[in-house]
Amino acid sequence: MREKIWTKDFIFVCLSNFFVSLNFYILATAFPLYVKDILNGNEQQMGLAITIYSLGIVLIRPFSGLWVDRFGNKKIALVGLCIFLIASVSYFGVMGIVLFLVIRFIHGMGYALASTATTTIASQLIPVSRQGEGVGYFSMFMSLAMVIGPACGLFLWKDKNITVLLLAACIISALSLLFAFALRKSQPKQNSTESVQNMVPNPKKKMQISDFIEAKALPISLLAFLLAFSYSSLSGFLASFTAEINQTQVASLFFVVFALMIVLFRPIVGKAFDKYKEHYLYYPAILLFGIGLILLSQSHSGKMVLLSALLMGIGYGALFSCFQALTVKLSPTHRRGIATATFLLFFDIGYGVGSYFMGLIASIVSYSVMYETAGIITLLSVSLYYLFHHRPQSKKQLNQDQHAI
* Residue 56 CB contacts under 8 Å (≥ 6 apart), including other chains: 104, 105, 106, 107, 108, 109, 111, 112
Outline where DSSP puts E strands in 311-397: none
pLDDT tens digits, one per residue of 218-266: 999 999 999 999 998 887 788 889 988 999 888 878 988 988 888 888 7
Res 196 pLDDT > 70 = no
CA distances from 122 to 149, 324, 373, 387 (A): 21, 11, 35, 30
pLDDT tens digits, one per residue of 115-151: 989 988 988 888 877 776 787 788 778 777 877 887 7
User: What pLDDT was estimated at residue 309?
Assistant: 94
Helices 218-244 and 251-275: crossing angle, nearest 10°? 160
Going by C-alpha positions, the residue among 40, 37, 166 that lies closest to residue 94 is 166
Q: What is the mean pLDDT of residues 38-64?
A: 79
Helices 43-71 and 97-125: crossing angle, nearest 10°? 40
Res 201 pLDDT > 60 = no
Domains of the chain: 8-187+211-404 (1.20.1250.20)
Res 110 pLDDT > 70 = yes
User: What pLDDT was estimated at residue 332?
Assistant: 83
* Residue 118 CB contacts under 8 Å (≥ 6 apart), including other chains: 13, 16, 17, 20, 73, 77, 180
CB 41, CB 150: distance < 8 Å: no
Q: What is the mean pLDDT of residues 45-53?
A: 77
CB 239, CB 46: distance < 8 Å: no
User: What pLDDT was estimated at residue 190?
Assistant: 42
Res 186 pLDDT > 60 = no
User: What pLDDT was estimated at residue 200?
Assistant: 44
Res 103 pLDDT > 50 = yes
CB 282, CB 228: distance < 8 Å: no
CB burial of 189-220 (b: ≥16 within 10 Å; e: otherwise) equals eeeeeeeeebeeeeeeeeeeeebbbbebbbbb
CA distances from 173 to 27, 85, 379 (A): 12, 5, 36
pTM for this predicted structure? 0.74
The rounded percent of the chain whose pLDDT value lies above 70 is 90
Mean pLDDT computed over every residue of the chain: 84
Three-state secondary structure call for residue 206: coil
Going by C-alpha positions, the residue among 49, 43, 151, 46 that lies closest to residue 369 is 43
